[in-house]
Structure 1
């Protein structure tokens, strides 16, 4: 054990409440920032549960909390794009003229674009160009709408219920991010 670590250990033995008290105050302050930030969003519970699930949120500032939510959105959009690609028929000939297959392929592409837009918003956050971040997050939510609207052009093709839940999830995540961006004063 080095001299520095030994001295810290002795200080801890002499008065352990110093360390415990400081840690408690630190976490409580960060929980307060998370709650305050989430109160400014449309989906408080989603915001709180998402941020609490990421241990880095306890040390993040408001910009960091936005980045965490954006990363959750990227994961959601990417997972949805992957899910949609697994729903495509494996036989190319059987699927060539199938409207459902075309729609699923287009939707997979749109969710890929949504993930790209969210990644761009991470860059915008890092550069503190919040107006561009706002635009990219809004675009990500719109890509989910475009997918849904594509099904309206083919009334005989049902919009998959699982996709509807994923769409709503991404749109809610994006709305949470937009609420946090409002706090940042884009």
Structure 2
């Protein structure tokens, strides 16, 4: 006959042995961290698909997820800067006003990349308020590109740049949402 104290000990013993034989059992504790984190952001689907496509996300804590998204935003800003720089060199961009607006946009996206690089450093150092400010600045730099085109009433804001602006702003919103969760 098994006593009640030994019968309650048996599940504990099995759990302990399982965890010892399978160290990944406690790795990162919560397997739903990405989903829980993304639910706190403005763009859940963007957050979820971005983090699920990154191979380092399953091992990351919330701060790590913020860093991954900030790096994604940095890649977006850098890619847009490259796109704008290559557009400046295109033969169909002869108008001086267009070249000037594109140059201003390229400069703004370069600054956005720098701000996002700063946010990654701040997140690593757990300086969340500064990280948030850097991400907010990066989103605003994208908006400044649109404003550069508004200065020239005859110019139309290219839809390719508008889409990239919207993309960067959304990624930045996701990063800021994750950082908000770190500050609490």
Query: Of the candidates 141, 159, 166, which is equivalent to residue 143 of structure 1?
Result: 141
| Alpha-carbon contact 2:28-2:61 (below 8 Å) kept | no
**1:152 Cα offset (Å):** 1.0
Indicate the residue corresponding to 2:33 in structure 1.
33
Question: Which residue in 2 is equivalent to 1:66?
Answer: 66
Query: Which consecutive unaligned segments of at least 5 residues does structure 1 have?
Result: 1-17
Aligned pair count reads 166
Cα 1:50–1:26 shift into 2, 3 Å = farther
Are the aligned partners of 1:144 and 1:167 in contact in 2 as well (CA < 8 Å)?
yes
The equivalences for 1:73-152 within 5 A come to: 73-89=73-89, 95=94, 98-152=96-150
Rg: which structure is higher? 2
Deviation at 1:150, TM superposition (A): 1.2
> Structure 2: how far apart are the matches of 1:142 and 1:60?
28
- Give the drift of 1:31: 3.8
**Aligned counterparts of 2:134 and 2:49: Cα–Cα separation in 1:** 23
**Which digits, 9 at most, give the CA deviation of each residue in 1:14-67, with x for residues without a partner?**
xxxx59x94885689554000000000000000000001111000000000000
Kindly provide the CA deviation profile for residues 69-107 of structure 1, in whole angstroms up to 9, marking residues without a partner as x.
Answer: 00000100000000001111467xx85x71000000110
Any conservation in 1 of the 2:43–2:170 contact (CA below 8 Å)?
yes
TM-score (normalised: structure 2): 0.83
Distance 2:135 2:106 in 1: 18
- CA pair 90-42 structure 1, distance change in 2 beyond 3 A: closer
Q: TM-score by structure 1 length?
A: 0.82
Contact 2:142 2:165 in 1 (8 A): yes
Determine the C-alpha separation between the residues in 2 that align with 1:29 and 1:164. 40
- The residue aligned with 1:166 is 164
Q: CA RMSD in A?
A: 2.3
Q: Structure 2, unaligned stretches of length 5 or more?
A: 1-17
